[in-house]
Structure 1
Amino acid sequence: MSRFRGLWQASVTATKRALAWNVEDMMPTSEKCIFNFNSKEEINKWHLYSDSEYGGLSSASLEIADSASGLTGIFSGNLSTELAGDSRWKINRSGFCGMRSKKFNGFIDLDAYDTISMRLRGDGRCYISTVYTENWVNSPAQQEDNSWQAFLIVPKGHWHTVKVPLSRYLPTWRGNVIDVNLEMNPSRIVGMSLSVNAEGGVPGAQTGPGDFRLEIDWIKGLRTL
Protein backbone atom coordinates (compact mmCIF):
# COMPACT_ATOMS: atom_id res chain seq x y z
CA MET A 1 0.00 0.00 0.00
CA SER A 2 2.78 2.42 0.90
CA ARG A 3 4.43 1.67 -2.42
CA PHE A 4 1.18 2.38 -4.26
CA ARG A 5 0.79 5.66 -2.38
CA GLY A 6 4.34 6.61 -3.30
CA LEU A 7 3.73 5.93 -6.99
CA TRP A 8 0.42 7.80 -6.88
CA GLN A 9 2.03 10.83 -5.20
CA ALA A 10 4.86 10.81 -7.73
CA SER A 11 2.32 10.72 -10.54
CA VAL A 12 0.34 13.62 -9.07
CA THR A 13 3.52 15.67 -8.63
CA ALA A 14 4.62 14.99 -12.20
CA THR A 15 1.18 15.94 -13.52
CA LYS A 16 1.21 19.22 -11.59
CA ARG A 17 4.64 20.07 -12.98
CA ALA A 18 3.50 19.26 -16.52
CA LEU A 19 0.40 21.40 -16.16
CA ALA A 20 2.41 24.29 -14.71
CA TRP A 21 4.90 24.06 -17.58
CA ASN A 22 2.11 24.01 -20.16
CA VAL A 23 0.41 27.06 -18.64
CA GLU A 24 3.66 29.03 -18.57
CA ASP A 25 4.46 27.95 -22.09
CA MET A 26 1.10 29.22 -23.35
CA MET A 27 1.40 32.61 -21.62
CA PRO A 28 2.58 35.34 -24.02
CA THR A 29 5.83 37.09 -23.22
CA SER A 30 5.67 40.61 -21.81
CA GLU A 31 7.02 42.03 -25.08
CA LYS A 32 7.27 41.07 -28.73
CA CYS A 33 9.85 42.56 -31.06
CA ILE A 34 8.28 43.64 -34.35
CA PHE A 35 11.16 45.56 -35.96
CA ASN A 36 14.78 45.92 -34.94
CA PHE A 37 16.74 48.49 -36.95
CA ASN A 38 20.14 46.87 -36.59
CA SER A 39 20.97 45.67 -40.11
CA LYS A 40 20.52 46.49 -43.77
CA GLU A 41 18.19 43.49 -44.02
CA GLU A 42 15.89 45.15 -41.48
CA ILE A 43 16.04 48.48 -43.33
CA ASN A 44 15.07 46.67 -46.54
CA LYS A 45 11.74 45.75 -44.92
CA TRP A 46 10.63 49.37 -45.41
CA HIS A 47 9.96 51.68 -48.32
CA LEU A 48 9.83 55.48 -48.44
CA TYR A 49 7.14 57.82 -49.72
CA SER A 50 6.69 61.59 -49.87
CA ASP A 51 4.79 64.37 -51.59
CA SER A 52 7.38 64.16 -54.39
CA GLU A 53 5.24 61.36 -55.85
CA TYR A 54 2.53 63.98 -56.47
CA GLY A 55 4.55 67.01 -57.52
CA GLY A 56 5.91 68.07 -54.13
CA LEU A 57 9.54 68.78 -53.34
CA SER A 58 10.04 66.94 -50.03
CA SER A 59 12.63 64.17 -49.82
CA ALA A 60 13.47 61.35 -47.40
CA SER A 61 16.00 58.60 -46.78
CA LEU A 62 16.33 55.61 -44.44
CA GLU A 63 19.83 54.47 -43.56
CA ILE A 64 21.76 52.43 -41.01
CA ALA A 65 24.08 54.32 -38.66
CA ASP A 66 26.57 53.19 -36.05
CA SER A 67 26.04 55.12 -32.83
CA ALA A 68 26.86 54.68 -29.16
CA SER A 69 23.72 52.52 -28.92
CA GLY A 70 24.90 50.25 -31.72
CA LEU A 71 23.39 50.04 -35.19
CA THR A 72 20.19 52.03 -35.57
CA GLY A 73 18.01 53.31 -38.38
CA ILE A 74 17.88 56.99 -39.34
CA PHE A 75 14.79 58.34 -41.09
CA SER A 76 15.71 61.81 -42.31
CA GLY A 77 15.15 64.30 -45.08
CA ASN A 78 13.69 67.67 -45.92
CA LEU A 79 10.09 68.88 -45.78
CA SER A 80 9.03 71.39 -48.41
CA THR A 81 5.64 73.00 -48.80
CA GLU A 82 6.43 74.03 -52.37
CA LEU A 83 5.22 72.31 -55.54
CA ALA A 84 7.19 71.66 -58.69
CA GLY A 85 6.35 74.23 -61.34
CA ASP A 86 5.68 71.60 -63.99
CA SER A 87 3.62 69.30 -61.73
CA ARG A 88 0.60 67.74 -63.40
CA TRP A 89 -0.83 66.79 -60.02
CA LYS A 90 -3.31 68.84 -58.03
CA ILE A 91 -2.84 68.10 -54.33
CA ASN A 92 -4.35 69.91 -51.36
CA ARG A 93 -1.11 70.05 -49.42
CA SER A 94 2.55 69.11 -49.60
CA GLY A 95 5.22 68.85 -46.93
CA PHE A 96 5.08 65.21 -45.87
CA CYS A 97 7.37 62.18 -45.84
CA GLY A 98 6.99 58.67 -44.49
CA MET A 99 8.42 55.20 -44.21
CA ARG A 100 6.11 52.20 -44.44
CA SER A 101 6.89 48.55 -43.83
CA LYS A 102 6.53 46.25 -46.79
CA LYS A 103 3.78 43.65 -46.65
CA PHE A 104 4.30 41.04 -43.96
CA ASN A 105 4.34 37.37 -44.87
CA GLY A 106 0.97 36.81 -43.26
CA PHE A 107 -0.03 38.87 -40.22
CA ILE A 108 1.56 40.22 -37.08
CA ASP A 109 -0.60 39.02 -34.19
CA LEU A 110 -0.57 41.49 -31.29
CA ASP A 111 -3.83 40.29 -29.74
CA ALA A 112 -2.00 39.45 -26.49
CA TYR A 113 -0.48 42.94 -26.29
CA ASP A 114 -2.00 46.33 -25.52
CA THR A 115 0.77 48.84 -26.33
CA ILE A 116 3.15 49.76 -29.14
CA SER A 117 6.57 50.76 -27.82
CA MET A 118 9.37 52.45 -29.79
CA ARG A 119 12.85 53.53 -28.79
CA LEU A 120 13.48 56.80 -30.63
CA ARG A 121 15.69 59.84 -30.73
CA GLY A 122 13.94 62.78 -32.33
CA ASP A 123 14.39 66.36 -33.38
CA GLY A 124 11.48 68.08 -31.66
CA ARG A 125 9.01 67.42 -34.47
CA CYS A 126 5.77 65.49 -34.06
CA TYR A 127 5.73 62.13 -35.85
CA ILE A 128 2.76 59.94 -36.74
CA SER A 129 2.68 56.22 -35.98
CA THR A 130 0.30 54.25 -38.19
CA VAL A 131 -0.84 50.66 -37.75
CA TYR A 132 -2.43 48.98 -40.78
CA THR A 133 -4.87 46.12 -40.26
CA GLU A 134 -6.71 43.84 -42.65
CA ASN A 135 -9.61 45.61 -44.32
CA TRP A 136 -12.98 44.94 -42.70
CA VAL A 137 -14.75 45.41 -46.07
CA ASN A 138 -14.52 42.33 -48.27
CA SER A 139 -15.01 44.06 -51.60
CA PRO A 140 -12.90 44.31 -54.79
CA ALA A 141 -13.79 48.01 -54.91
CA GLN A 142 -12.35 48.67 -51.46
CA GLN A 143 -9.00 46.96 -50.97
CA GLU A 144 -6.99 49.53 -48.98
CA ASP A 145 -5.86 48.41 -45.55
CA ASN A 146 -7.52 49.89 -42.50
CA SER A 147 -5.29 52.54 -40.93
CA TRP A 148 -5.04 53.65 -37.30
CA GLN A 149 -2.92 56.62 -36.26
CA ALA A 150 -1.45 58.21 -33.16
CA PHE A 151 0.86 61.19 -32.64
CA LEU A 152 4.35 60.62 -31.22
CA ILE A 153 5.98 63.30 -29.12
CA VAL A 154 9.73 62.64 -29.12
CA PRO A 155 11.97 64.97 -27.06
CA LYS A 156 14.90 66.40 -28.95
CA GLY A 157 18.45 65.17 -28.59
CA HIS A 158 18.23 62.07 -26.41
CA TRP A 159 16.85 58.53 -26.58
CA HIS A 160 13.28 58.13 -25.41
CA THR A 161 11.04 55.07 -25.17
CA VAL A 162 7.60 56.03 -26.47
CA LYS A 163 4.67 53.86 -25.35
CA VAL A 164 1.34 54.23 -27.13
CA PRO A 165 -1.63 52.10 -26.00
CA LEU A 166 -3.40 50.49 -28.95
CA SER A 167 -6.60 52.07 -27.64
CA ARG A 168 -5.15 55.52 -28.49
CA TYR A 169 -4.84 54.72 -32.20
CA LEU A 170 -7.72 56.36 -34.07
CA PRO A 171 -9.25 55.06 -37.32
CA THR A 172 -8.26 57.21 -40.29
CA TRP A 173 -8.94 57.48 -44.00
CA ARG A 174 -6.13 58.93 -46.10
CA GLY A 175 -4.67 60.78 -43.15
CA ASN A 176 -7.94 62.11 -41.71
CA VAL A 177 -9.62 60.79 -38.57
CA ILE A 178 -13.01 59.28 -39.39
CA ASP A 179 -16.00 59.37 -37.07
CA VAL A 180 -16.93 55.69 -36.95
CA ASN A 181 -17.46 53.26 -34.13
CA LEU A 182 -14.69 50.75 -34.87
CA GLU A 183 -12.19 48.77 -32.86
CA MET A 184 -8.80 47.73 -34.10
CA ASN A 185 -8.22 44.02 -34.66
CA PRO A 186 -4.64 43.65 -33.34
CA SER A 187 -4.44 40.02 -34.43
CA ARG A 188 -4.52 41.02 -38.13
CA ILE A 189 -1.82 43.69 -38.46
CA VAL A 190 -0.45 43.87 -42.01
CA GLY A 191 2.00 46.77 -41.70
CA MET A 192 3.19 49.89 -39.91
CA SER A 193 4.53 53.30 -40.83
CA LEU A 194 6.14 56.41 -39.38
CA SER A 195 5.57 59.76 -41.04
CA VAL A 196 6.10 63.49 -40.51
CA ASN A 197 4.28 66.59 -41.77
CA ALA A 198 5.53 70.14 -42.10
CA GLU A 199 2.32 71.46 -40.56
CA GLY A 200 -0.05 70.20 -37.87
CA GLY A 201 0.84 67.86 -35.05
CA VAL A 202 0.67 68.72 -31.37
CA PRO A 203 1.17 72.05 -29.57
CA GLY A 204 4.80 72.75 -28.76
CA ALA A 205 6.26 70.53 -31.48
CA GLN A 206 8.54 71.99 -34.14
CA THR A 207 6.65 72.69 -37.36
CA GLY A 208 7.26 74.21 -40.74
CA PRO A 209 9.43 73.28 -43.73
CA GLY A 210 13.01 72.21 -43.21
CA ASP A 211 15.10 69.23 -42.24
CA PHE A 212 13.87 66.35 -40.08
CA ARG A 213 15.68 63.45 -38.45
CA LEU A 214 14.35 60.50 -36.43
CA GLU A 215 16.65 57.78 -35.13
CA ILE A 216 14.96 54.41 -34.50
CA ASP A 217 16.27 51.52 -32.43
CA TRP A 218 13.28 49.13 -32.30
CA ILE A 219 9.52 48.77 -32.37
CA LYS A 220 7.83 46.31 -30.01
CA GLY A 221 4.47 45.17 -28.77
CA LEU A 222 4.08 45.34 -24.96
CA ARG A 223 1.74 43.59 -22.57
CA THR A 224 1.22 46.00 -19.70
CA LEU A 225 -2.16 44.94 -18.32
Structure 2
Amino acid sequence: MSRFRSLWQTSIQATKRALKGTWEDLMPPSEKVVFHFNSKDEISRWHLYADSELGGLSSASLEIPDTDSGAPLTGVFSGNLSLDLDECSTWRMKRSGFCGMRSKRFNGFIDLDSYDTIAMRLCGDGRCYISTIPLDRYLPTWRGNVINANLEMNPSRIVGMSLSVNAEGGVPGAKTGPGDFQLEIDWIKALRS
Protein backbone atom coordinates (compact mmCIF):
# COMPACT_ATOMS: atom_id res chain seq x y z
CA MET A 1 0.00 0.00 0.00
CA SER A 2 2.86 2.40 0.78
CA ARG A 3 4.34 1.91 -2.74
CA PHE A 4 1.03 2.83 -4.32
CA ARG A 5 0.72 5.91 -2.05
CA SER A 6 4.29 6.98 -2.92
CA LEU A 7 3.61 6.58 -6.66
CA TRP A 8 0.34 8.47 -6.32
CA GLN A 9 2.02 11.38 -4.46
CA THR A 10 4.85 11.53 -6.99
CA SER A 11 2.30 11.70 -9.82
CA ILE A 12 0.34 14.49 -8.09
CA GLN A 13 3.53 16.50 -7.46
CA ALA A 14 4.60 16.17 -11.11
CA THR A 15 1.16 17.32 -12.27
CA LYS A 16 1.29 20.35 -9.93
CA ARG A 17 4.75 21.32 -11.27
CA ALA A 18 3.50 21.02 -14.84
CA LEU A 19 0.48 23.21 -14.12
CA LYS A 20 2.65 25.90 -12.50
CA GLY A 21 4.60 26.35 -15.74
CA THR A 22 4.30 29.52 -17.79
CA TRP A 23 3.06 29.95 -21.35
CA GLU A 24 6.70 30.23 -22.47
CA ASP A 25 7.34 26.73 -21.11
CA LEU A 26 4.80 25.40 -23.60
CA MET A 27 6.27 27.26 -26.60
CA PRO A 28 8.83 25.54 -28.81
CA PRO A 29 12.40 26.84 -28.60
CA SER A 30 13.18 30.05 -30.49
CA GLU A 31 15.36 28.12 -32.92
CA LYS A 32 15.45 24.59 -34.28
CA VAL A 33 18.41 23.10 -36.15
CA VAL A 34 17.07 21.44 -39.29
CA PHE A 35 20.47 20.48 -40.77
CA HIS A 36 23.99 20.82 -39.43
CA PHE A 37 26.63 20.13 -42.08
CA ASN A 38 29.30 18.91 -39.68
CA SER A 39 29.57 15.18 -40.34
CA LYS A 40 29.54 12.66 -43.14
CA ASP A 41 26.25 11.30 -41.77
CA GLU A 42 24.65 14.74 -42.19
CA ILE A 43 26.06 15.08 -45.71
CA SER A 44 24.61 11.67 -46.61
CA ARG A 45 21.12 13.09 -45.96
CA TRP A 46 21.39 15.06 -49.24
CA HIS A 47 21.05 14.04 -52.88
CA LEU A 48 22.97 15.89 -55.62
CA TYR A 49 21.62 16.58 -59.08
CA ALA A 50 22.89 18.37 -62.17
CA ASP A 51 22.01 18.90 -65.80
CA SER A 52 24.36 15.97 -66.54
CA GLU A 53 21.41 13.69 -65.67
CA LEU A 54 19.72 15.04 -68.80
CA GLY A 55 22.64 15.42 -71.18
CA GLY A 56 24.39 18.48 -69.82
CA LEU A 57 27.98 18.62 -68.63
CA SER A 58 27.68 20.33 -65.23
CA SER A 59 28.88 18.53 -62.10
CA ALA A 60 28.47 18.91 -58.34
CA SER A 61 29.75 17.49 -55.07
CA LEU A 62 28.95 17.88 -51.39
CA GLU A 63 31.81 17.08 -49.05
CA ILE A 64 33.39 17.88 -45.73
CA PRO A 65 37.03 18.73 -46.43
CA ASP A 66 39.66 17.08 -44.26
CA THR A 67 41.25 19.60 -41.92
CA ASP A 68 44.14 19.11 -39.56
CA SER A 69 43.66 22.50 -37.92
CA GLY A 70 40.92 21.39 -35.54
CA ALA A 71 38.58 23.99 -37.05
CA PRO A 72 34.84 23.20 -37.01
CA LEU A 73 33.72 21.00 -39.88
CA THR A 74 31.62 22.63 -42.60
CA GLY A 75 30.02 21.16 -45.70
CA VAL A 76 31.15 22.40 -49.12
CA PHE A 77 28.75 22.29 -52.09
CA SER A 78 30.92 22.81 -55.18
CA GLY A 79 31.29 21.92 -58.80
CA ASN A 80 31.29 23.29 -62.31
CA LEU A 81 28.47 24.87 -64.31
CA SER A 82 28.62 24.18 -68.04
CA LEU A 83 26.34 25.48 -70.77
CA ASP A 84 27.54 22.73 -73.12
CA LEU A 85 25.59 19.58 -73.96
CA ASP A 86 26.82 16.03 -74.41
CA GLU A 87 26.63 15.35 -78.15
CA CYS A 88 25.84 11.67 -77.50
CA SER A 89 22.87 12.42 -75.25
CA THR A 90 19.44 11.17 -76.30
CA TRP A 91 17.78 13.95 -74.25
CA ARG A 92 16.71 17.09 -76.07
CA MET A 93 17.70 19.73 -73.55
CA LYS A 94 17.04 23.37 -74.25
CA ARG A 95 18.90 24.70 -71.23
CA SER A 96 21.84 23.53 -69.19
CA GLY A 97 24.08 25.04 -66.55
CA PHE A 98 22.47 24.01 -63.26
CA CYS A 99 23.35 21.96 -60.19
CA GLY A 100 21.61 21.44 -56.90
CA MET A 101 21.32 19.52 -53.68
CA ARG A 102 18.04 18.22 -52.30
CA SER A 103 17.49 16.73 -48.87
CA LYS A 104 16.40 13.13 -48.88
CA ARG A 105 12.84 12.70 -47.65
CA PHE A 106 12.49 13.14 -43.95
CA ASN A 107 11.30 10.17 -41.96
CA GLY A 108 7.73 11.48 -42.00
CA PHE A 109 7.48 15.28 -41.95
CA ILE A 110 9.29 18.05 -40.16
CA ASP A 111 6.96 20.50 -38.41
CA LEU A 112 8.09 24.12 -38.80
CA ASP A 113 4.66 25.65 -38.16
CA SER A 114 5.87 27.43 -34.99
CA TYR A 115 8.66 29.18 -36.89
CA ASP A 116 8.55 32.11 -39.29
CA THR A 117 12.06 32.26 -40.74
CA ILE A 118 14.66 29.95 -42.16
CA ALA A 119 18.26 31.00 -41.52
CA MET A 120 21.37 29.56 -43.14
CA ARG A 121 24.98 30.10 -42.21
CA LEU A 122 26.81 30.19 -45.54
CA CYS A 123 29.96 31.48 -47.16
CA GLY A 124 29.40 32.00 -50.88
CA ASP A 125 31.38 32.77 -53.97
CA GLY A 126 29.34 35.65 -55.39
CA ARG A 127 26.85 33.51 -57.27
CA CYS A 128 23.11 33.58 -56.63
CA TYR A 129 21.84 30.39 -54.94
CA ILE A 130 18.16 29.50 -54.75
CA SER A 131 16.60 27.65 -51.84
CA THR A 132 13.11 26.20 -51.48
CA ILE A 133 12.30 27.11 -47.91
CA PRO A 134 9.05 27.59 -45.95
CA LEU A 135 8.70 31.34 -45.70
CA ASP A 136 5.73 33.63 -46.29
CA ARG A 137 7.32 34.51 -49.63
CA TYR A 138 8.10 30.94 -50.58
CA LEU A 139 9.00 30.56 -54.25
CA PRO A 140 8.74 27.11 -55.82
CA THR A 141 11.76 26.23 -57.96
CA TRP A 142 12.67 23.53 -60.43
CA ARG A 143 16.16 22.83 -61.70
CA GLY A 144 17.47 26.19 -60.50
CA ASN A 145 14.65 28.38 -61.83
CA VAL A 146 11.66 29.93 -60.09
CA ILE A 147 8.45 28.51 -61.56
CA ASN A 148 5.05 30.15 -61.82
CA ALA A 149 2.71 28.03 -59.76
CA ASN A 150 -0.01 28.85 -57.29
CA LEU A 151 1.07 26.52 -54.49
CA GLU A 152 0.24 26.81 -50.82
CA MET A 153 2.97 25.88 -48.37
CA ASN A 154 2.05 23.84 -45.29
CA PRO A 155 4.85 24.53 -42.78
CA SER A 156 3.72 21.73 -40.48
CA ARG A 157 4.36 19.09 -43.17
CA ILE A 158 7.76 19.88 -44.71
CA VAL A 159 9.11 16.91 -46.65
CA GLY A 160 12.43 18.37 -47.78
CA MET A 161 14.56 21.35 -48.71
CA SER A 162 16.83 22.15 -51.60
CA LEU A 163 19.55 24.53 -52.70
CA SER A 164 20.51 25.11 -56.32
CA VAL A 165 22.69 27.27 -58.52
CA ASN A 166 22.16 28.29 -62.14
CA ALA A 167 24.76 29.64 -64.56
CA GLU A 168 22.32 32.19 -65.99
CA GLY A 169 20.08 34.51 -64.04
CA GLY A 170 20.08 35.59 -60.44
CA VAL A 171 20.04 38.92 -58.70
CA PRO A 172 21.72 41.99 -60.24
CA GLY A 173 25.43 42.05 -59.45
CA ALA A 174 25.70 38.31 -58.81
CA LYS A 175 28.36 36.29 -60.60
CA THR A 176 26.86 34.48 -63.61
CA GLY A 177 27.99 32.31 -66.48
CA PRO A 178 29.69 28.95 -66.74
CA GLY A 179 32.53 28.04 -64.42
CA ASP A 180 33.30 26.77 -60.96
CA PHE A 181 31.08 27.38 -57.95
CA GLN A 182 31.60 26.83 -54.24
CA LEU A 183 29.33 27.36 -51.24
CA GLU A 184 30.33 26.54 -47.67
CA ILE A 185 27.31 25.51 -45.57
CA ASP A 186 27.43 25.35 -41.78
CA TRP A 187 23.75 24.93 -40.79
CA ILE A 188 20.12 25.51 -41.65
CA LYS A 189 17.84 26.54 -38.77
CA ALA A 190 14.20 27.47 -38.30
CA LEU A 191 13.74 30.63 -36.20
CA ARG A 192 10.80 32.05 -34.30
CA SER A 193 10.71 35.80 -33.71
CA deviation profile, 1:80-127 (whole Å, cap 9, x unmatched): 000011111111200000011111100010000000000000000000
Deviation, structure 1 residue 58: 0.3
Deviation, structure 1 residue 194: 0.7
Secondary structure, counterpart of 2:74 in structure 1: strand
Q: How does 1:121-132 map to 2 (within 5 A)?
A: 121-131=123-133
Deviation, structure 1 residue 218: 0.2
Q: Which amino acid is 1:110 matched to? A: L
Task: State TM-score, norm by structure 2.
Answer: 0.84
Q: Which runs of 5+ in 2 are unaligned?
A: 1-14
User: Once superposed, what is the RMSD of the aligned Cα atoms?
Assistant: 2.2
Secondary structure, counterpart of 2:85 in structure 1: coil
Q: How does 1:38-53 map to 2 (within 5 A)?
A: 38-53=38-53
Q: How does 1:25-104 map to 2 (within 5 A)?
A: 25-65=25-65, 66=67, 70-104=72-106
- Counterparts of 2:167 and 2:142, CA distance in 1: 19
- Counterparts of 1:35 and 1:189, CA distance in 2: 13
What residue number does 1:140 align with? none
What residue number does 1:186 align with? 155
Q: Which amino acid is 1:73 matched to? A: G
Secondary structure, counterpart of 2:53 in structure 1: helix
What residue number does 1:155 align with? none
Task: State TM-score, norm by structure 1.
Answer: 0.73
CA deviation profile, 1:19-54 (whole Å, cap 9, x unmatched): 342633321110000000010000000110000000
Q: How does 1:1-225 map to 2 (within 5 A)?
A: 15=16, 18-21=18-21, 23-65=23-65, 66=67, 70-131=72-133, 166-172=135-141, 175-180=145-150, 182-224=151-193
- Counterparts of 2:116 and 2:70, CA distance in 1: 30
Deviation, structure 1 residue 172: 4.7
Deviation, structure 1 residue 129: 0.3
Query: CA 1:63–1:172 in structure 2 vs 1: closer, same or farther (change >3 Å)?
Result: closer
Secondary structure, counterpart of 1:25 in structure 2: helix
Percent identity of equivalent pairs: 73
Whether the 8 Å contact between 2:127 and 2:175 is mirrored in structure 1 is yes
Secondary structure, counterpart of 2:21 in structure 1: helix
Q: Which amino acid is 1:25 matched to? A: D
Q: Which amino acid is 1:102 matched to? A: K
> How many positions carry a matched residue from both structures?
177
- Counterparts of 1:69 and 1:107, CA distance in 2: 33
Whether the 8 Å contact between 2:51 and 2:57 is mirrored in structure 1 is yes
Whether the 8 Å contact between 2:132 and 2:141 is mirrored in structure 1 is no
- Counterparts of 2:132 and 2:183, CA distance in 1: 15
- Counterparts of 2:149 and 2:107, CA distance in 1: 31
What residue number does 1:151 align with? none
Query: CA 1:113–1:37 in structure 2 vs 1: closer, same or farther (change >3 Å)?
Result: same
Q: More strand by proportion, 1 or 2?
A: 1
